[in-house]
Amino acid sequence: MKKKLVLLLAAAMAVGSLAGCGDSGSGSGDGGAGTADGGTVTDEEVDPRFKYDEPVTLTSYFEISPAISADWNQENWIEKLNLEMPKTMDELYDVMVAFRDQDPDGNGQDDTIGMVFHNNFLSAGLGDAVGLFNGFGAYPAIWVKDGEDKLKYGSIMEENKAALEYIAKMYQEGLIDQDFSFNDEVKASEAAASGRAGIQYGLMWNANWPLNATVQNDPEADWVTLPLPSATGSEARPQTSPRITGYVVVNKKCEHPEAVVRLLNFWVDKYAYSGDEYNDYLVEDANGVLNFPLHWVMLKAWFPLKNLTIHQHIVEALEKNDASSLNAEELVSYNDIQKYLSGDIVTSYGGMKTFGNDMSAFDTIQHYYDDTLFLMNEFTTGPTPTMGQKMSTVTDKVMEYYTKVIM
């Protein structure tokens, strides 16, 4: 096994050398791959596993891992207070009021708020408000079609007004922290971790952090995701952007530009599509978790729906109680979920709530996918010169103005 690892690592590091183009060879968004000494490898020296008899095909080097907002709610508070899961913005508001007023944590003190919220609330992550704006049909900070074959900037859409009025009311009524404008997302997330807030908008990884901390502090706590509530009651559309993480560029002087493609194909064979050899490349880290050590190599490509597929395969395996068809990466999450199901809730919380089958993050993303709800950013090219000069000023001004309206 060790020999294979060394071979693969060496192959990845030597891509410039393999392609015969030295330091100016290939590069990617993660950093240049041209680490070689400029020498050219002869045909006999090339690892036979990189020799493809069939025609070489180009493997795309981008991943679509959209930042999709979901609405994370503390299910145990909803049950305890006999509330319904909110589907509309009005219902969401009522749940927040109940969380503020009805002592959901049962400590007899007036110490809870409705929702996590911070000062960078148009940046999707955790405790932001992007999904809340989407609930009003507003799509701030991305570009949308204007109906006349042109793009318009989402932050100046009329629909933002209703979202801002809603948040301003939340602020006035103490449903969000009064000092939110001083708090970044890390500071704001303490309200979720400490069990002071029961709702936050956030991305699929939130259960790995900080929502796992809520459960560490209170084993009775439980977070679930919901599709974004909407003002009209019809389904809200979560905004997202395609994430191109890098391009592979090959110098035209390269003698063997196809080596780059071969390395990409090798990655896809071994990782993304998990052939039989996959398990041979895994190593156990300090925490006993099996990892593919070349996860961070510079030449890689992801199957666009990889994470959603992991979720689908895990749900199927859970239903059949049979994990034999799972690949190694899926098995890591599946085993984590089995630990959760046998009572190890705290350490395995993220696995269950991200990929599991009980109102997990990907349950909600599957719903968005099935109903074609993603609202993609229509601006898909590089920034214009004007954007380069002025866009950061525009986004600063938008945040300044929005924050003033809320406060």
Shortest approach of Ca ion to residue 74 CB, angstroms? 13
Asked whether position 111 contacts Ca ion by CB under 5 A, the answer is yes
User: Residues binding Ca ion: what is the number (CB under 5 A)?
Assistant: 5
For residue 290, which of 326, 247, 248, 239 has the smallest C-alpha distance? 326
Among 42, 57, 82, 109, binds Ca ion (CB under 5 A): 109
> For Ca ion, which is the closer residue by CB, 109 or 321?
109
Residue 210: left (phi > 0), alpha (psi -120 to 50), or beta?
A: alpha
Report which secondary-structure segment, H or E, holds 387: helix 385-406
Asked whether position 220 contacts Ca ion by CB under 5 A, the answer is no
The residue range among 12-20, 100-108, 154-162, 255-263 that interacts with Ca ion, by the rule CB under 5 A, is 100-108
The residue range among 7-15, 97-105, 146-154, 360-368 that interacts with Ca ion, by the rule CB under 5 A, is 97-105
Shortest approach of Ca ion to residue 191 CB, angstroms? 13
Structure tokens at 17: 């050398």
CB closest to Ca ion, residue no: 103
What single-letter amino acid sits at 385? P
> For Ca ion, which is the closer residue by CB, 107 or 172?
107
The residue range among 11-19, 23-31, 105-113, 138-146 that interacts with Ca ion, by the rule CB under 5 A, is 105-113
Residues in the chain, total = 407
The residue range among 53-61, 79-87, 101-109, 243-251 that interacts with Ca ion, by the rule CB under 5 A, is 101-109
Among 107, 384, 389, 392, binds Ca ion (CB under 5 A): 107
Rounded to an integer, what distance in angstroms lies between the CA atom of residue 103 and that of residue 99? 7
Coil, strand or helix at 114: strand
Coil, strand or helix at 294: helix
Q: Which residue has the tokens 């229509």?
A: 378
Asked whether position 195 contacts Ca ion by CB under 5 A, the answer is no
φ and ψ at residue 71, rounded to 5 degrees: -105, 110
> For Ca ion, which is the closer residue by CB, 94 or 103?
103
Asked whether position 57 contacts Ca ion by CB under 5 A, the answer is no
Specify whether the CB–CB gap between 284 and 290 falls below 8 A. yes
Shortest approach of Ca ion to residue 178 CB, angstroms? 17
Asked whether position 218 contacts Ca ion by CB under 5 A, the answer is no
Asked whether position 336 contacts Ca ion by CB under 5 A, the answer is no
Among 16, 59, 99, 105, binds Ca ion (CB under 5 A): 105
For residue 298, which of 3, 7, 11, 4 has the smallest C-alpha distance? 11
Shortest approach of Ca ion to residue 107 CB, angstroms? 5
Asked whether position 384 contacts Ca ion by CB under 5 A, the answer is no
Beta strands in 37-120 (DSSP E): 70-74, 113-115
Coil, strand or helix at 26: coil
> For Ca ion, which is the closer residue by CB, 80 or 187?
80
For residue 60, which of 223, 220, 260 has the smallest C-alpha distance? 260
| All residues at 6 or more sequence positions from 379 whose CB lies less than 8 Å from its CB, including other chains | 142, 143, 151
Residues that bind Ca ion in the complex, under the rule CB under 5 A: 103, 105, 107, 109, 111
